[in-house]
Structure 1
């Protein structure tokens, strides 16, 4: 034995026999149980990497372990407002307004020129089936009842052969003095019905949903591209219940329980015809590239594609992490998540190629700023090989609380990174988007232009030329009272805006009335037609609905849109306001009709309204309408009112 080893071997003995009468202090032995120190779940801005079963299981189990140990409630993804112009150019009837041509979106009413399907309001537990007759009236043919009583209709899709019904589970519970029904995050379904089955039903009969797929998780959004239904959902293994630990022994026990849990119990399942199957395979999923063995999140988001012509062939992929929504073009899917930290706001975007009817991860880009909460997908657009995005940053500056940026991004990934090609503002184009303290209320893209509305007291409309990705430019600006919260590009020249007319005088505090102060303006819903073909955008004209409110500001699927000719477009907007009838305030609900003339200098004209015969007890937030040549079928709280464009104020039927 060397003398060094010998000295170390004797060291405990020598220390215990040290030369005085006083004894050495007692040292407590270390805790023999030291469970792993799992990091707090975070929103990553990193690229994605494919994983195997073990890597995915580690991330999910770490997330569950952290949640149990830190008593953190299960996070939830932000709902995405469902998504402009429907492709009705070759049809004589209107369809659901969507964000992108060729990408359909679910709605509570669908029409194909013959069949009209309507989800019943409020309870949304049945679907009315009406059929157009030779005299163009509607006849009630049947009702479709949901297979499960605790499900409600979330949306419908209609093709030439199929009606697809998406339902979600609802939860009912009571608290003192209140009864609450809210969406559950545990289950949703997709039922596929053949129209031939509906056609063969006896009049007045009941149809039970069939060919139903039941999915674990919470449906966030959906789309239809061709014959493929795309489902974007989240899933947390909430059935894994762990006690809240108070010491390391209990923490280790939780860790051991999770370690022994098979990955199959942590991932969503789907069932069809009584047979359950995994919705995703662990080796088809992704995690953030910067995730370590001590990171994790208990949930996943899932992209699922179901072919209506071959529904048992399901394509699916998942991402472990926190995400808020998706944007869909015909061949592209972008999953986005927004991060809020003390270091600022950021948005991560993951691009998947869907050109071959399956999800192929392409690349990622992280941007400063957020997409915000109101229809965030409208801040994204893909044209050719370029992704265009508008973000907003909150600034610690009372004189200017918001900064806004436009980005051009290449979809030609470089090592899974999506390069940023252009940005506004920049050193050569320093003009900011929006005046100081103005937030963005609307964004839309059309071909090589972007349209942005900002607002604090007035409404600046900005026109951006984004035809050259590495050199975006502001080419036009128009100021006017109020704001647009939804923009609908009509062609390369005209743009429709729907929002509110706001009196800027109402923002002036302690102002004295003088001849120099502008007269108050009428406040309410404003529909404005803009000519954006020149360097200075021009307000063609506008229509104001005094003290009105319309769901189309926040849900563009409530708009009815039908090109009547190459230069004429018909528009329908559900509208409500309050009226005093016999000293009682009641809701004035109606469908307002407008006509757009896109020839010459352009024109926006009111064309009357369709209203229930009796004052309405209900708002218009689930109202819809379809135009079929001259016929108008207006859905208001479960009833379909029939009128004509040529005589809108005269009801000719109620179904």
Structure 2
């Protein structure tokens, strides 16, 4: 049965049933448009979501109600003006506050059988409520409760480090040496661009004129490309897709089976004009994240098992390369609240047809952090009015994934920058809210046991950004002003606050910038109220961690939106090349920094309305040699940096 026939049958089953106003196609479409503007989700993802919403909408018309399926607890919105007028409590930041007894660590256990796993999942589903999930069996009957799910990947953060060995930019990544997929890649000779239409274009930039030389389409029509990786003469695409089938259970009643999967496809691009597929693996579940360390890609998906009234009517094991995982590869943490799995696989790009190892953990996931040795999976919990963060550690070496340890700490993470591993210790920054908001820094060993901590920092404020640099941590909290804290973590048992610099506004992103400099990108705000007044660049002197100083700031008055708040890969920050690039309120801006003159605005490119509303989240600035390129989903602009960023070429697609 093809997709059109399937949808026709669904519509036929729903004829004569009044659709609630909020679930009409027009309302759903408007909601999706608002989400696109507010979250800046890439156009290709919106299209897939609309197709899914259309199918679910027709099912809901048969009598379903709309509830929330997957809810991640997020940081509360900025306090009201009345709250913000309250004074910020003065903090003693000169000494370390050792932790109270925190029973943080826990263990993984393996399920003994699929039947035991089924019973565990049934109990979790009872706790969270019955709902339909991707891959579930959905009966089209009256009083059926159908729920939609938006399982987009949570945006994570970056730590770009260009070595200078090649004169071209690299993806802004969270951990030096651990690559991340993106919508644009370059090797200095070619651009590899994910278009809004869903294909990848290879553009030759070696001559005076840019030239498209190849196009790669997804292997299947129902697939959407999510991310690109580039490694020499290999190009890797991460795609998502789904397959649906329908069976008639009774008259005018149908069973819809939906299989959602993620694929990694590897291409040999030795001949750039003729890419050749060399291997492909599939993994069941919705794409969450991926990382690449050397020759190994680690693929993470969220799998929702199909739970029927009995074990025989259920499907509880995810598929990797169309093979069920072994029960010994499925783990249950001490505590979990989600009847879903996070599935992780390691793949060698030299032999992409074979999966080295796969593991599944019954858990949700809000944030991910991967160091050179370990994968950390973070899940937000909310119980009895208190938030906590569950952190799971998996060792990753040459594609092998091994369960390590886990812990649960009070509070919530701002983003993936709030975690960092250094010399076997994990450092974590959290905002706690059990007795009013305060902030804490924890250091944990390889067994996820707390060795030292600083607690009760900056009462009434929340962490807005962080950057760990060796034994030093820099982090920003905010309510009315922006304290930039500097902490010495050289002694894991006794971390110490070295300094606190109070400024107006706050930095939502911190980035090392050359020797002894730290770049802050964020927002200016009024000192008395905390109300935002514009976008701000700050440059800090960190040569003396105990005396951090703001050297210069540049305020874009009235500006209010940075896509980099949701995707750190949208920022180009290269201290060696002395380039800072990002999108702000529909303009792509390029800056440099001079010790005497401060920030210098080198380029302001005004994006079209379409680019602003649909493409700015995936707009990238890259450089190769003396050329600077602004790349969005449907055009490439080339600027000569030696001629004051003069526009020299433009390549556009319809």
Q: TM-score, normalised by structure 1?
A: 0.73
Which of 371, 382, 392 aligns to 2:431? It is 392
Does the C-alpha gap of structure 1 residues 333 and 473 become closer, same or farther in structure 2, counting only changes over 3 Å? same
> Relative to 1, partners in 2 of residues 1:83 and 1:185: Cα closer, same or farther, differing over 3 Å?
farther
d(CA) in 1 for partners of 2:605, 2:194: 20
What are the within-5 Å matches in structure 2 for residues 250-649 of structure 1?
254=309, 257-258=310-311, 260=312, 265-271=315-321, 276-278=322-324, 280-289=325-334, 298-314=339-355, 315-342=357-384, 344-372=386-414, 376-396=415-435, 401-411=436-446, 413=447, 418-425=448-455, 432-434=456-458, 436-490=459-513, 493-506=516-529, 523-534=533-544, 535-548=546-559, 549-564=561-576, 569-576=578-585, 589-597=586-594, 604-611=598-605, 618-619=612-613, 620-649=616-645
Provide, for residues 177-198 of structure 1, a one-character-per-residue CA deviation record: whole Å limited to 9, x for no partner. xxxxxxx9922221111112x5
C-alpha change, 1:446 and 1:200, in structure 2 (3 Å) is same
In 2: Cα distance, 1:408 partner to 1:474 partner: 14
1:193 has 2:285 as partner: no
The 2-side partners of 1:116 and 1:606 are apart by: 27
SS at match of 2:175: coil
SS of match in other structure, 2:177: coil
Equivalent-residue separation in structure 1 for 2:588 and 2:508 (angstroms): 19
Instruction: Quickly say closer, same or farther: Cα 1:149–1:209, change in 2 above 3 A.
Output: farther
- Measure how far apart 1:643 and its partner are: 0.4
* 1:307 CA drift (Å): 0.6
Q: Rg bigger for which structure?
A: 1
Greater RCO (CA < 8 Å, at least 6 residues apart) = 2
Is the partner of 2:118 in helix, strand or coil?
helix
Who is 2:117 aligned against? 59
In 2, distance between residues paired with 1:369 and 1:633? 41
Name the CA distance, whole Å, in 1 between partners of 2:572 and 2:578: 10
Unaligned runs of 5+ in 1: 1-41, 173-183, 202-206, 243-253, 426-431, 509-521, 577-588
Q: What's the secondary structure of 2:493's corresponding residue?
A: coil
**Which residue is equivalent to 1:11?**
none
Correspondence 1:132 to 2:205: yes
Q: What is the aligned partner in structure 2 of residue 28 from structure 1?
A: none
Query: How many residue pairs are counted as aligned between the two chains?
Result: 517
1:204-233: CA deviation from partner (whole Å, max 9, x where unpaired)? xxx796733232101111111011111111
Query: In the alignment, is residue 119 of structure 1 matched against residue 194 of structure 2?
Result: yes
2:440 and 2:609 map into 1 onto residues whose CA distance is 46
Question: Match for residue 298 of structure 2?
Answer: 230
**Does the Cα contact within 8 Å between 1:216 and 1:269 map onto a contact in 2?**
yes
- Single out whichever of 318-327 and 308-317 deviates more from structure 2: 318-327
Distance verdict in 2 for CA 1:270–1:351, change over 3 Å: closer
Q: Could you say which residue in structure 1 is the equivalent of 2:68?
A: none
- In structure 2, relative to structure 1, the CA distance for the partners of 1:158 and 1:469 (3 Å cut) is same
Q: How does 1:65-214 map to 2 (within 5 A)?
A: 67=125, 71-73=129-131, 79-89=153-163, 90-121=165-196, 123=197, 125-135=198-208, 137-169=209-241, 186-196=260-270, 198-201=271-274, 211-214=279-282
Contact 1:286–1:319 (CA under 8 A) maintained in structure 2 = yes
Kindly report the root-mean-square deviation, in angstroms, between the aligned alpha carbons of the 2 structures: 3.1
Using the size of structure 2 for normalisation, the TM-score is 0.73
User: For the structure 1 residues 68 and 552, does the alpha-carbon distance in structure 2 shift closer, same or farther, using more than 3 Å as the test?
Assistant: closer
8 Å contact 2:630–2:636 — kept in the other structure? Answer: yes
| SS of residue paired to 1:312 | coil
Q: Does the aligned pair in 1 maintain the 2:516–2:541 contact within 8 Å? A: yes
The 1-side partners of 2:555 and 2:230 are apart by 35
Tell me if the contact between 2:390 and 2:409 (Cα under 8 Å) persists in the aligned partners. yes
**Distance 1:57-1:114 versus aligned 2 partners, 3 A rule:** farther
Match for residue 19 of structure 2? none
Counterpart residue number, 2:6? none
Deviations 1:219-252 (A, max 9, x none): 11111101111111111123x4x4xxxxxxxxxx
Measured in 1, the distance between the counterparts of 2:123 and 2:471 equals: 48
Asked whether the 8 Å contact 1:78–1:324 carries over to 2, the reply is no
**C-alpha distance in 2 between matches for 1:66 and 1:561:** 44
Q: Against the structure 1 CA distance between its residues 208 and 308, is the aligned structure 2 distance closer, same or farther, given a 3 Å change threshold?
A: closer
Aligned-partner SS, 2:188: coil
In the TM superposition, what is the alpha-carbon distance from 1:46 to its structure 2 partner?
6.5
Report how far residue 52 of structure 1 moved: 4.8
Secondary structure at 1:211's aligned position in 2?
A: strand
Distance 2:607 2:329 in 1: 56
Deviation (angstroms), 1:387: 0.6
Instruction: Give 2:106's aligned residue.
Output: 47
Which stretch of structure 1 is more off in the superposition, 332-341 or 162-171? Answer: 162-171
Contact 2:358–2:401 under 8 Å retained in 1:
yes
SS at match of 2:602: strand
SS at match of 1:311: coil
Distance 2:396 2:262 in 1: 23
Judging changes above 3 Å, is the alpha-carbon distance between structure 1 residues 224 and 611 closer, same or farther for their aligned structure 2 residues?
A: same
Alpha-carbon displacement from aligned partner over 1:604-628 (angstroms, at most 9, x marks no partner) = 4224215269776634222101111
Contact 1:453 1:484 in 2 (8 A): yes
Query: Is contact 1:45–1:347 with CA below 8 Å preserved after alignment?
Result: no
Contact persistence 1:523–1:547 (CA under 8 A)? yes
Q: Helix, strand or coil: the match of 2:354?
A: strand
SS of residue matched to 2:457: coil
After TM superposition, the runs of 4+ consecutive aligned structure 1 residues lying more than 4 A away are 42-46, 68-71, 74-78, 207-210, 505-508, 612-617
Task: State the shift of 1:363 in Å.
Answer: 1.8
- Whether the 8 Å CA contact 2:268–2:277 is kept in 1: the answer is no
> Is the Cα–Cα contact under 8 Å of residues 618 and 632 in structure 2 kept in the other structure?
yes
For each residue in 1:280-335, what CA deviation from the matched residue of structure 2 results, as whole angstroms up to 9, or x when unmatched? Answer: 321122112479xxxx9632111111110012331111112333332101111112
